[in-house]
Amino acid sequence: MSLALFGLGNKSSKTVKHFKRIPEGSHQHDMMKHAAATLGSGNLKLAVQLPEGEDLNEWIAVNTVDFFNQINMLYGTITEHCTTESCPVMSAGPKYEYHWADGTSVKKPIKCSAPKYIDYLMTWVQDQLDNETIFPSKIGTSFPRNFITIAKTILKRLFRVYAHIYHAHFDDIISLKEEAHLNTSFKHFIYFVHEFTLIEKKELSPMQELIDRMMKA
């Protein structure tokens, strides 16, 4: 049993620091409302489709922000269970281990604990979302040419947080009665990345079994 269970370990006092708000009254906010309404109907296949007349980049942008917020919230519920003692490496089951590199400021991958890796990851994603040249919030400002490529990298990395939660913390999620919330969020995410082919199949392999079941259901 780890020390963390007794509150003696490296107990995280982190508050939810990563969050991005989509301003009310903006077109992006309307898109989110539309998406939420379709999601409420329970038809995920339809809910992830590009709404008629909308811009694909903008649709991918608002959904990426939404997934980031959801994952941040879900991970936030288990941070005290995800410590350097419980999770000394960032993993998704015994076969997959991740080392952090962002490709620009960190080129040589760093082997670190899961909480450290996820902190690097969420901070990096937030920096992308807050960058006006990548995620323009002003009307009439266009997305960069390579926007989809950047979005793919963001989503590929966010997927790893889901994968870590499922593989290392599903029991914690169950005791918090958060499993329906996690499953709904992950299923929505998978339908979305599938609709626009945003994550390569090999990246999804740590969760392939559940994905196959979810896509069939």
Which residues are part of a known binding site? 82, 87, 164, 169
The least distance separating Zn ion from the CB of residue 5, rounded to whole angstroms, comes to 13
Site for Zn ion in 102-141 (CB under 5 A): 114
In order of 57, 60, 97, 163, the CA distances from 145 in angstroms are 10, 14, 32, 30
Pairing of strands 90-91, 97-98: antiparallel
82 binds Zn ion per the rule CB under 5 A:
yes
The number of residues that bind Zn ion (CB under 5 A) is 4
22 versus 168: smaller Cβ distance to Zn ion: 168
The three-state secondary structure class of 93 is coil
| Candidate list 74, 87, 122, 211; residue touching Zn ion; CB under 5 A | 87
Q: Which stretch binds Zn ion (CB under 5 A): 33-41, 52-60, 77-85, 122-130?
A: 77-85
The least distance separating Zn ion from the CB of residue 158, rounded to whole angstroms, comes to 15
Residue with tokens 């029991």: 171
Give the H or E element holding residue 90: strand 90-91
60 binds Zn ion per the rule CB under 5 A:
no
CA distance 80 to 86: 10
Site for Zn ion in 158-197 (CB under 5 A): 168
Q: Name the DSSP letter for residue 48.
A: T
65 versus 87: smaller Cβ distance to Zn ion: 87
Q: Do 81 and 169 contact (CB within 8 A), yes or no?
A: yes
47 versus 82: smaller Cβ distance to Zn ion: 82
CA distance 18 to 23: 16
172 versus 195: smaller Cβ distance to Zn ion: 172
47 versus 122: smaller Cβ distance to Zn ion: 122
Q: Which residues are annotated as a binding site for Zn(2+)?
A: 82, 87, 164, 169
Closest alpha carbon to 191 in 29, 28, 21, 35: 35
Task: Name the site residues for Zn ion (rule: CB under 5 A).
Answer: 82, 87, 114, 168
